[in-house]
Amino acid sequence: MCGFCGGGSISRRQFIYGGLVTPLSIGAVRKDGLVEPALRLQPQTGPRRVAVTLDACPGHFDPRIANLLVERNIPATIFITEMWMRMNPAGLAFFLKHPQIFTLENHGARHLPPVLGAQRVYGLEVAGSWPAIVSEIAGGAEAIYKATGRHPVWYRGAAGLYTPSVIPQIEALGVRVAGYSLISDAGASLPAEIVAARIKAARDGDVIEGHINQPKRSSGAGIAAGLAALQDAGVQFESLGDAA
């Protein structure tokens, strides 16, 4: 259970993995000393399966993606920040209206990467210290609990990058660190055709990452088109939340 929210009767392993996702594998340490963890669904026989995860960093609501997911009954995990929730009450209400489609998980309170020290990451100010990382995670978890009555299971740090030593500390709080295996839009910076092509090329077990907070950029149209094409190709969509 969430280390901030008290206990639970289900064992951690059962609660977290549920047979669906493979435990976190830590990627190579980058030149800047940070890691970008990878996460994939466990291999299974049968049709190609993927999980859709979309980040609601600070920004706006992208109805192109949200409507497509509802129309086609495709489940998605939304990694949401407390800031986004405050800025987008109508978008939040849309997510809450379709709980069978959208599962809200923790992308932090203020979108501060869980990085120690003073460096910037993609121009973002970082949390900087362990207590600040804890408050980033706790603030995000609290906002989700207030909105949904449900404690988030997963945390994806802003920018998806971590100081390696904080990952086991975060997991010791009972929080799962949510990596991914397919970056679709590079921070909503790629044009729609490229985003759609990347998603269409998803391999079995991929955890797809993209953004649902940039409705004015073309990337979001590519996410919608790519997911529609995957579904038309018979791909099955799994929810990370199924693990809980």
Binding site for Zn ion (CB under 5 A): 55, 57, 158
Q: How far is the CB of 199 from Zn ion (least distance, A)?
A: 18
In the bound state with Zn ion, the residue whose beta carbon lies nearer, of 51 and 57, is 57
Q: How far is the CB of 107 from Zn ion (least distance, A)?
A: 6
In the bound state with Zn ion, the residue whose beta carbon lies nearer, of 127 and 235, is 127
Q: How far is the CB of 36 from Zn ion (least distance, A)?
A: 13
Q: How far is the CB of 125 from Zn ion (least distance, A)?
A: 13
Tell me the residue number closest to Zn ion, measured at CB.
57
In contact, 202 and 48? CB cutoff 8 Å: yes
Quick one: 100 exposed, middle or buried, by C-beta within 10 A (0-12, 13-18, 19+)?
exposed
In the bound state with Zn ion, the residue whose beta carbon lies nearer, of 57 and 170, is 57
């405050």: which residue's tokens? 86
In the bound state with Zn ion, the residue whose beta carbon lies nearer, of 164 and 187, is 187
In the bound state with Zn ion, the residue whose beta carbon lies nearer, of 57 and 101, is 57
In the bound state with Zn ion, the residue whose beta carbon lies nearer, of 53 and 181, is 53
Distance in angstroms between the alpha carbons of the first and the last residue of the chain: 10
Q: How far is the CB of 83 from Zn ion (least distance, A)?
A: 10
Q: Are strands 182-183 and 207-211 parallel, antiparallel or unpaired?
A: parallel
Backbone angles phi, psi at 236, to 5 degrees: -95, 140
Distances (CA, A) of 184 to 42, 69, 114, 187, 225: 20, 16, 22, 8, 12
Let me know the angle formed at the C-alpha of 167 by 163 and 168, rounded to the nearest 5 degrees: 135
Q: How far is the CB of 156 from Zn ion (least distance, A)?
A: 8
Helix, strand or coil for residue 119? coil
